[in-house]
Structure 1
Amino acid sequence: MSEMLGSLTRRRVLKLTGMTAIASALETVPAMAEAGPDHTLTIAPYSLEISARRFIKTIAYNGQVPGPLLRLREGVPVTIGVTNRSSDDEIVHWHGLFLPPEVDGAMEEGTPHIPAGSSASYTFTPTPPGFRWYHTHTFAGRDLKKGLYSGQHGFLMVEPRENPARYDQEFFLALHDWGASMVGSDDGSMSAVYDSSTINGKTLGFGEPLRVKQGQRVLLHIVNTSATDVHWLALAGHQLRVVALDGNPVPAPKAVSMVRLSPAERVTAEVEMNHPGVWVLGEVRKHVMAAGMGIVVEYADRSGKPVWQQPQTLEWDYLWFSAPGPIESARGEPSAEINVTVIPLVFQSKFVGHGAMDRWLINGRSFPDTETVALKQGQRYRLVLKNKSMDDHPVHLHRQTFELRRLAGRETQGILKDTLLVSAGTEAEVEFTANRPGLTLFHCHQQDHMDMGFMMLFLCS
């Protein structure tokens, strides 16, 4: 299969692998018209006002950025109707859900595009519970208004069947960067830089504040929807108690001064509203906050200029939240009793030429020439992620949750994620059980890296 893929472009892969899925996906449209979908999304051009009289022309869902919050119930089938009123083919990926490849939202797996001017529907049973999100999964290349550079992202919450957590308030926050341009670095490669950054589509001070009351317990669901950039976030005057990563509860919740999110990562944090005032929740790095990434948090009966307290260092470590000792992991069995197959994956870049974006390689090959790795259903696998490049990579595994087992030489267990930042020059190891048949996409979630070949497929049978 890998030899066949080697002769194809990314678009050709869609046309061949998606043929059977196209029929099944579009067959649901008449039924959708009869019964009506549970939710609808319309993809269309939109002019987003990020600050007073400053507009960004983009593509969005339902005429808003972020798109509407979709609250789904674990195990309850749902149909989502999507209409594409943009000028290009589009696709919607349901990030973090355990879905069949024909509806997961990646053309490399076989999900069909929705042609311009057409409609389709996605019917699936949402699982696992937790904070997920949805977004476009298209090629952008040098068009920095397409793909994840655009406003096509939204919140998705899968409510658990039993014992949902209760909070006085919860807020959903999307971090995003705008006005991208490609700039050359000293080594001749190209990378994206931005002139504006927002939370929920607004710059600091322009959008409505988060209004809270003293004594409340507030839950913040934060997602980094940026096409390429990592973000650090802090709430002045308060600690953030991290309770979940990528929507999955952590073994050891911990109060921290700030959180770090690479592209596609989510952090869920509790905040005890015990310090009345008007505060800033914003990007820790001064130049990014200056570009607009912040939002006001306002206590009832308080007014005045929002207060920011500048941290002096950047602090974050996944292992803060790992299990404190030997445990049975989320797979329900002690690690020592599991037969694990190791798959090494080496990340490198290939310089193409001055003014060109680097090609990205996994085990020496760039998609669609990367090897499609065969998996046996029910087998446990450990991915050894060796980043030999000079860039950090937020790697994402579709249709699965993996367990972090080793990071930069340190053992760990119990942290479940679907996206992991593998820092430049380091190694990480993650494990998952192959229990979802069909094609599964693995890629860097940085748009320019993905576009330039940082992808591969697993095939479970």
Structure 2
Amino acid sequence: MNRRDFLAGSGALAAKSGVGHLTRAWGQQPADIALTIANLDLEIAAGKTIHTVAYNGTVPGPLIRWPEGKPITIDVSNQTDAPEIVHWHGLWIPSDVDGSMEEGSPMIPAHGRQRYSFTPRPSGFRWYHTHTYAGHNLRRATYSGQFGCFYIDPKENAGVFDQEIFLTLHDWNGYMGGGGDTSMDVSYDYATINSKMLGAGEPIRVKQGQRVLLHILNASATLTHWLACSGHEMQVVAMDGNPVPVQKNVQAVRLAPAERIDVAIEMKQAGVWILGETRDDLRKAGMGIVIEYANQQGDARWLSPPEILWDYAHFARSQKAAEPDVRIPLVFRSKFTGHGDFDHWMINGKSFPKTDMITLQQGKRYRLSMQNESTDDHPIHLHRHTFEVTSLDGTSISGLMKDVLVVKAKSTAEVDFTASNPGMTLFHCHQQSHMDFGFMMLFRYA
């Protein structure tokens, strides 16, 4: 049994037990937010149109900005011919509305509808996206345009900026190649920021002396991106929606699939600049956006930043974290399945849905001790919880709170979380091909 077969079986059960109840709730009172999943012809540049699926006819979908602690109701209508689901990434919400079939959230039937009701928390930069199986269909799931930003405003003022701007990175028109490395499995023709290729959309317009906060999401299915803002430094203030213990100025930032970062930029270099991918081929494929100062004209300039080493430890405390109650060893390996196909992925020697299910005791602190024996980096994600990064390649750190962490090839990493949100909880690599082909496991509360 693979993930597709697991989803098919679970979907039949959910259709009997969950969808009817949620559908009956529809229309009793108006929802706060309405999302429609439908096919879309998206023009990313003159003469370049992507045939995809999106929310409300836009890529990204509408920004959901909501006060922390205030209940929200979201109606989702699926106008496509395939079952769908919406995952509310990074939120501490019940598993039946989290938007993962593996946890028990019901699928939205083709041409069906569903209502999600929950109280958004914690505050900060979260997002929403489809959580379906793609397999070899590289126009489905996170390869599509089904993603959007979800920002939960804190109860207390988090800072004052002249502008706040949300930027979403995405790669388009993937096809399957061969081999084991992800860069060989999936390739792309185009890249966009906020649905437009570099130079095809409206620039970010700023004024001299402004302090601008950029909320940046990597919504790519598989690619990690490096971004630099020509002529400017970026101050990292938050990762995955959580304030970092140590704010640091950097020349470029690295974002793996599903990672978010908040950076502040002092606009003090008048001109017309490019914020874009540091790698020429990806920037030329479209991964960039123009920043234009008031009363400035001319061609946008690109200045390559000096090469940097991205290290999460730079934004964390150097002190050792408190000892956990329980340690859970996790070893990541791949299994070559033949030329022209994706690798299959294993956690502790097993591929989902045959991976072991770990039982959690509410209130206990758990440490995931991860050993990546493969030659791929893995952006691992834990649903419905935030974890603290406590060790990278044997070096202890603390205070850095995330929900996605890149465990580099041939490396080790440890993260701690408190079992504080009962229900089935999914752990997986956020690279779509890795997730589809075995890199998943479930935690359950006793």
Scaled to the shorter chain, the TM-score interval is over 0.9
Change (3 A) 1:182 1:34: same
The SS at the match of 1:438 is coil
Partner of 1:361: 346
Change (3 A) 1:17 1:385: farther
Question: Is residue 7 of structure 2 the alignment partner of residue 13 of structure 1?
Answer: no
Alpha-carbon distance between aligned partners in 1 of 2:171 and 2:308, rounded to the nearest angstrom:
20
Amino acid across the alignment from 1:41: L
Which structure 2 residues correspond to residues 360-379 of structure 1 after superposition, within 5 A? 360-379=345-364
Please tell me whether the aligned partners of residues 182 and 376 of structure 2 are also in contact (alpha carbons under 8 angstroms): no
Alpha-carbon distance between aligned partners in 1 of 2:432 and 2:43, rounded to the nearest angstrom:
24
1:299-354 deviations in Å (ceiling 9; x for gaps)? 1111111010012424311111112547xxxxxxxx44x54200011111111122
1:154 counterpart (135, 148, 159): 148
Please tell me whether the aligned partners of residues 389 and 416 of structure 2 are also in contact (alpha carbons under 8 angstroms): yes
Change (3 A) 1:186 1:264: closer
The SS at the match of 2:330 is strand
2:25 counterpart (25, 28, 36): 28
Which structure 2 residues correspond to residues 35-50 of structure 1 after superposition, within 5 A? 35-50=29-44
Question: Is residue 437 of structure 2 the alignment partner of residue 439 of structure 1?
Answer: no
Identity of aligned residues (%): 54
Partner of 1:330: none
Question: Is residue 50 of structure 2 the alignment partner of residue 56 of structure 1?
Answer: yes
Please tell me whether the aligned partners of residues 127 and 158 of structure 1 are also in contact (alpha carbons under 8 angstroms): yes
1:335-393 deviations in Å (ceiling 9; x for gaps)? 44x54200011111111122221111010000111111100000100001111111110
Measure how far apart 1:189 and its partner are: 10
Question: Is residue 412 of structure 2 the alignment partner of residue 415 of structure 1?
Answer: no
Measure how far apart 1:15 and its partner are: 3.4
Partner of 1:272: 266
Alpha-carbon distance between aligned partners in 2 of 1:421 and 1:411, rounded to the nearest angstrom:
16
Measure how far apart 1:46 and its partner are: 0.3
Gaps of 5+ in 2: none
Please tell me whether the aligned partners of residues 91 and 126 of structure 2 are also in contact (alpha carbons under 8 angstroms): yes
* Aligned Cα root-mean-square deviation (Å): 1.9
Change (3 A) 1:243 1:292: same
Alpha-carbon distance between aligned partners in 1 of 2:128 and 2:181, rounded to the nearest angstrom:
35
2:283 counterpart (268, 289, 295): 289
Task: State which drifts further: 314-323 or 186-195.
Answer: 186-195
Partner of 2:333: 348
Partner of 1:332: none
Measure how far apart 1:139 and its partner are: 0.3
The SS at the match of 1:108 is helix
Please tell me whether the aligned partners of residues 189 and 358 of structure 1 are also in contact (alpha carbons under 8 angstroms): no
Change (3 A) 1:276 1:350: same
Change (3 A) 1:23 1:187: closer
Change (3 A) 1:397 1:260: same
Amino acid across the alignment from 1:25: L
Please tell me whether the aligned partners of residues 75 and 127 of structure 1 are also in contact (alpha carbons under 8 angstroms): yes
The SS at the match of 2:102 is coil
Alpha-carbon distance between aligned partners in 1 of 2:3 and 2:78, rounded to the nearest angstrom:
30
Task: State which drifts further: 350-359 or 173-182.
Answer: 350-359
Please tell me whether the aligned partners of residues 18 and 109 of structure 1 are also in contact (alpha carbons under 8 angstroms): no
Structure 1 ranges of 4+ moved more than 4 A: 4-8, 186-190
TM-score by length of 1: 0.93
Change (3 A) 1:312 1:49: same
Measure how far apart 1:165 and its partner are: 2.0
Partner of 1:331: none
Amino acid across the alignment from 2:248: K
Gaps of 5+ in 1: 327-334
The SS at the match of 1:226 is coil
Task: State which drifts further: 17-26 or 207-216.
Answer: 17-26
Partner of 2:244: 250
Measure how far apart 1:183 and its partner are: 1.3
Aligned residues: 446
Task: State which drifts further: 305-314 or 435-444.
Answer: 305-314
Please tell me whether the aligned partners of residues 277 and 303 of structure 1 are also in contact (alpha carbons under 8 angstroms): yes
Task: State which drifts further: 208-217 or 7-16.
Answer: 7-16
Measure how far apart 1:410 and its partner are: 1.3
1:402 counterpart (359, 363, 387): 387
Amino acid across the alignment from 1:84: N
TM-score by length of 2: 0.96
Please tell me whether the aligned partners of residues 189 and 353 of structure 1 are also in contact (alpha carbons under 8 angstroms): no
Measure how far apart 1:8 and its partner are: 6.2
The SS at the match of 1:68 is coil
Partner of 1:143: 137
1:451 counterpart (436, 439, 445): 436
Task: State which drifts further: 11-20 or 104-113.
Answer: 11-20
Alpha-carbon distance between aligned partners in 2 of 1:187 and 1:267, rounded to the nearest angstrom:
26
Change (3 A) 1:116 1:188: closer
Measure how far apart 1:86 and its partner are: 1.1
Alpha-carbon distance between aligned partners in 1 of 2:5 and 2:292, rounded to the nearest angstrom:
54
Change (3 A) 1:339 1:65: closer
Alpha-carbon distance between aligned partners in 2 of 1:20 and 1:385, rounded to the nearest angstrom:
36
Alpha-carbon distance between aligned partners in 2 of 1:165 and 1:252, rounded to the nearest angstrom:
16
Partner of 2:162: 168
Measure how far apart 1:163 and its partner are: 2.0
